[in-house]
Amino acid sequence: DGGITQSPKYLFRKEGQNVTLSCEQNLNHDAMYWYRQDPGQGLRLIYYSQIVNDFQKGDIAEGYSVSREKKESFPLTVTSAQKNPTAFYLCASSMQGPANQPQHFGDGTRLSIL
């Protein structure tokens, strides 16, 4: 089945630790995105990528980093510089980016601080 796979489903971070969230898609989509959702809030864009080896900052990129070495994969690293990382992280993809095509979401990763 085609889709977007995020892992892990739950993640706990210790103070000063970097953690990496995985996102893989087999939809052959060119564009991929990372969003953050806080309780009762809409989604806020962290980073997006329209092609391999290229990505752009979204509205809240500080404290996060990404890479896009393969079309299928777009991992997100939450660095120790992100002081309030507790949130629901959502990865999405679309045929083309960044805003005219429907975006489809993975199941998300819930990150908490230990």
Partner 1 sequence: QKEVEQNSGPLSVPEGAIASLNCTYSDRGSQSFFWYRQYSGKSPELIMFIYSNGDKEDGRFTAQLNKASQYVSLLIRDSQPSDSATYLCAVNLLSGSARQLTFGSGTQLTVLP
Q: Which residues bind partner 1 (CB under 8 A)?
A: 33, 35, 40-45, 48, 56, 58-59, 90, 98-108
**72-93 burial code (b ≥16 CB/10 A, e <16):** bebbbebeeebeebebebbbbb
If the CB atoms of residues 18 and 56 are measured against partner 1, the closer one turns out to be 56
If the CB atoms of residues 16 and 102 are measured against partner 1, the closer one turns out to be 102
Distance CA 30, CA 72 (A): 9
Beta bridge partners of 45: 35
Picking from 87, 97, 4, the residue whose alpha carbon sits closest to that of residue 48 is 97
If the CB atoms of residues 58 and 80 are measured against partner 1, the closer one turns out to be 58
The distance of closest approach from Cβ of residue 77 to partner 1 in the complex, given in angstroms and rounded to an integer, is: 20
The distance of closest approach from Cβ of residue 16 to partner 1 in the complex, given in angstroms and rounded to an integer, is: 29
